[in-house]
Amino acid sequence: MPAPHVAETNDCPIGRILFLSTILQLDTGCNTITKRGLNGFFKETYMIKIKENISLALYTVYKIGGHARFFADVKKSEDIIEAIVFAKEKHLPFVIIGAGSNMLVADKGFFGVAIHVGGGEVRTEGEKLFTDAGVMTARAVVASAKAGLSGFEWGIGVPGSIGGSIRGNAGCFGGAMKDVVENVEIFDSLSAERRMLEAARCEFSYRHSVFKKHPEWIILSAVLSLKKGDQKQIQQRIREITEARAAKQDIGTKSCGCIFKNITWAQKGIQKTELIERFPWLADFRDSENIPASLLIDRAELKGKRVGRVYVSPKHANYFVNEGEATAEEVVMLISLVKDTVRRKFGISLEEEIQYVGF
Ligand SMILES: Cc1cc2nc3c(=O)[nH]c(=O)nc-3n(C[C@H](O)[C@H](O)[C@H](O)COP(=O)(O)OP(=O)(O)OC[C@H]3O[C@@H](n4cnc5c(N)ncnc54)[C@H](O)[C@@H]3O)c2cc1C
């Protein structure tokens, strides 16, 4: 029997959590549930419902991917933690799925516990917005607008959850999660600690956060800091953004948004002057932080390029659309074709923004 991994927390609002390979004690402060975590017992003893062999395609916007060996649909922090405990007890890896709008699941699925975090509570108080990780970004934007809070209007069209958006520092229309997050409550699945991280400790940068470095840190909830504004102006801004997105992007299709990150001028190996000299159309972006990946794909004449049932969107070249029944393998082949072509034509290496699951 492997040595039990035991961790205790002192600052944990729900009390003490012990990870043991045979006995698990979850002290919620109100009641203590002692469970025998051996195979065969879990179905009777876990408070959450654990399902088996569930198609993950159903939980991604791409509608692609195989089955998860185990699956839990949760929204409350305690239930997220319990699903993680289940995975630990089974000695299986786990993956968190928010809205599934930025991930590609392998055709063979995920041999572990897929934890779908969806829904939860969102409320405002003064200039703060308190939200669970599973709340959809758009729902949080609507709640902030209703309370006359400004600063989060840009998030209206991001089809992700708050947890997924914080992890990837989602952003658009000049805003990003880094501008609004005040603090994040996390569950450290290695030490079994539940704790708060101030925004400064989230290490936000372009499509990056500390959570990418620490996949064991699971986002449970967050507090966003917004500003009192004029409700009419806030709603007008939300309308403008919604219309602008619909005009430029493939909204409502099976995709996972931008496949690649934009290229930042500051990144290693990018010689600004030389690139602009060779490709004068890049001069338009001289004063921007980034070169849009969609522009590079477009200039490489890859719009409309397809592999099987997935193709590069003619509307927005960084979106690869599943026209129905596409496989993850087809997406992967199209990704590698596009990367290869862009690298050969411009000497620039595109890097995926999407997250791979089960590969
Ligand atoms: C049509 C379309 C438009 C898009 N537009 C934009 C845009 O304008 N700007 C932008 O930045 N993105 C955009 N995206 C991408 C995507 O919506 C965002 O990245 C979103 O923030 C992802 O959130 P999610 O809940 O869907 O994450 P998921 O796809 O479910 O997960 C992404 C990653 O985050 C992890 N994760 C999810 N929840 C948690 C959690 N609670 N704790 C720890 N890890 C977690 C997952 O394990 C995975 O690694 C778009 C996508 C689509 C389909």
Three-class DSSP category at 70: strand
Nearest residue (by CA) to ligand 1, atom 14, is 257
User: What's the number of CA atoms in the CB half-sphere (13 Å) around residue 18?
Assistant: 14
Pocket of ligand 1 (CB under 6 A): 61, 95-103, 117, 133, 158-161, 163-165, 167-168, 170-172, 211, 218-219, 251, 255-257, 355
What count of other Cβ atoms lies within 10 Å of the Cβ of residue 40? 7
- For 315-353, write each residue's pLDDT tens digit: 999 999 999 999 999 999 999 999 999 999 999 999 999
Q: Is the pLDDT of residue 21 over 60?
A: no
pLDDT computed for residue 282 by the predictor: 96
- For 153-170, write each residue's pLDDT tens digit: 999 999 999 999 999 999
Enumerate the β-bridge partners of residue 221. Answer: 132, 185
Enumerate the β-bridge partners of residue 94. Answer: 113
CATH class label, 251-357: alpha beta
Tell me, in angstroms, the distance from the centre of ligand 1 to residue 352's CA. 13
pLDDT computed for residue 24 by the predictor: 40
CATH class label, 122-243: alpha beta
pLDDT band at 45 (very low <50, low <70, confident <90, very high): low
Point out the ligand 1 atom lying closest to the alpha carbon of residue 166. 21
Q: Is the pLDDT of residue 27 over 90?
A: no
Q: Treating both helix axes as pointing N-terminal to C-terminal, what angle do 137-146 and 231-248 enclose, rounded to 10 degrees? A: 150
pLDDT computed for residue 139 by the predictor: 98
What CATH number is given for 17-112 in this structure? 3.30.43.10
Domain boundaries defined on the chain = 17-112, 122-243, 251-357
Name the CA radius of gyration of the chain, rounded: 22
Instruction: Assess contact for 6 and 20: CB atoms under 8 A.
Output: yes
Q: What value does the mean pLDDT take over residues 227-256?
A: 91
Q: What is the mean pLDDT of the chain?
A: 88
Nearest residue (by CA) to ligand 1, atom 20, is 160
Q: Is the pLDDT of residue 287 over 60?
A: yes
